[in-house]
Amino acid sequence: MSRRYSKKHLWSSLVVLGLSLFLYVAQQQGWIGNAGTAVESNQPGLYSINHFIDGDTIAVNMNGATETVRFIGIDTPETHKPNTPVQCYGPAAAAHTKNAIAAQGSKVRLVSDSLSTDRDRYNRLLRYVYLPDGTNLNELNVQQGYAFYYPYFPFSKSKQFEADEKAAMATKKGLWSACTPTPSDDGGYKMDEPASQQT
């Protein structure tokens, strides 16, 4: 009896040890999000940044290829658009996105939205970009005045992003104090003011 008990005890201990090791590695690798966040629990693994494009667009390494990712639901002032001058707060928005991602190891989680299309007309993936700590960078950019709420494509967080924009506008955060955005026909804003006029 004692020998049989010892073998069962040994196997139980090994299973618990193996499971604990797996959970530790999974958490370190970002396979498991923070508890209490439903979106995070459904996220795929972390993707490393290939290069930064601007405040609302990045390129990631995905399955051996480089994929361009456009942030769902936001628009930042232009820095690289053909035939368009660098716009007011564009460099600041691009730097904010780059710094926020770099501060957490230059890796991100990408989450699609069932209400949005998978890709835009430029074949860029449309995604929410989450930092490893669970921060939704799309929303953070709107909250801190680096981006506009952009309802061009429907998306499930639309009302929250719109509220975030109103709060940033009311408190004159970021571009709302430095620039003069004007409403555009697509429901967002446009920035005719060049970066050289930025205060």
Choice among 40, 78, 165, 193 that is catalytic: 78
CA distances from 60 to 44, 47, 124 (A): 14, 6, 11
Distance CA(55)–CA(64), nearest Å, equals 24
Distance CA(82)–CA(59), nearest Å, equals 18
Choice among 70, 109, 139, 165 that is catalytic: 70
Question: Is there a catalytic annotation at residue 124?
Answer: yes
User: Which positions are catalytic?
Assistant: 70, 78, 124
